Structure 1
């Protein structure tokens, strides 16, 4: 999809690369990488993104704080939190704080496809675009 852009905020280089590859496979046209909160907020200040994939465990700031800052700047920003914590409490906290989704590591192609499909549905994209993206992988 030509206009699907994603900011990937993940401190682990291997996980960031894996996520980037999966996003390209499901149709992301542009992916910007950020290894920490400072880089993410700098990138967010300079560009618009369809989706922000945000790791909760960043080296310089808590992911929840980063999400709040992004939502302060753009309340409609679609943010999907990524973490190894699969507890119900953590998921509920993320969603109640404004996250549009939650992905538990390790990443899978199916989970990433679901993130993109959810974004397309929330933002009123045509069902044929969703089918096209499913057919790509």
Structure 2
């Protein structure tokens, strides 16, 4: 299986732990979790992630602005915003700013599988990896 490395930026400890567990179950090989903008920047600068799950509301900054910063630095990043804000306006703003997806909290295991599968289907020619992920559903 290909090495699937994911960065999670979520400031709520329970939600962060739940999301990390879901991602491992969905097929991630490595998940790095950070709870704020400064930690996310440090992780982003020191490693390469295929997927970034990014909360909009962080204690030391705005997730949307951080996403734009990440996209400007490495445009191939697959960034999915995770938030409790389910307004159409917020979703449209995120997508137009370059988000590759938008997941509303509380998120289900199925939604997290979808995030991983969508990335793999678009970015991987590794058929065994896709089949392995599909068997986990």
Structure 1 residue aligned with 2:110: 110
The structural deviation recorded for 1:132 is 1.4
Structure 1 residue aligned with 2:84: 84
Moved more, 115-124 or 74-83: 115-124
Structure 1 residue aligned with 2:45: 45
Structure 1 residue aligned with 2:30: 30
Moved more, 109-118 or 123-132: 123-132
**CA–CA separation in structure 2 for the residues paired with 1:119 and 1:127:** 13
Structure 1 residue aligned with 2:134: 134
TM-score, structure 1 as length reference: 0.95
**CA–CA separation in structure 2 for the residues paired with 1:39 and 1:95:** 24
Contact conserved, 2:2 with 2:126, CA < 8 A, in 1?
no
**CA–CA separation in structure 1 for the residues paired with 2:76 and 2:2:** 21
Deviations 1:4-49 (A, max 9, x none): 0000000000000000000000100000011001000000000000
TM-score, structure 2 as length reference: 0.95
Aligned to 2:82, the other structure's residue is in SS state strand
Contact conserved, 2:2 with 2:129, CA < 8 A, in 1?
no
Structure 2 residue aligned with 1:64: 64
**CA–CA separation in structure 2 for the residues paired with 1:65 and 1:19:** 22
- CA RMSD in angstroms comes to 1.2
Instruction: Quickly say closer, same or farther: Cα 1:94–1:133, change in 2 above 3 A.
Output: same
The structural deviation recorded for 1:126 is 4.0
Contact conserved, 1:2 with 1:28, CA < 8 A, in 2?
no
The structural deviation recorded for 1:87 is 1.0
The structural deviation recorded for 1:135 is 1.1
The structural deviation recorded for 1:90 is 0.8
Count of residues in correspondence between the two structures: 137
Moved more, 116-125 or 7-16: 116-125
The structural deviation recorded for 1:130 is 2.1
Aligned to 1:3, the other structure's residue is in SS state coil
Structure 1 residue aligned with 2:6: 6
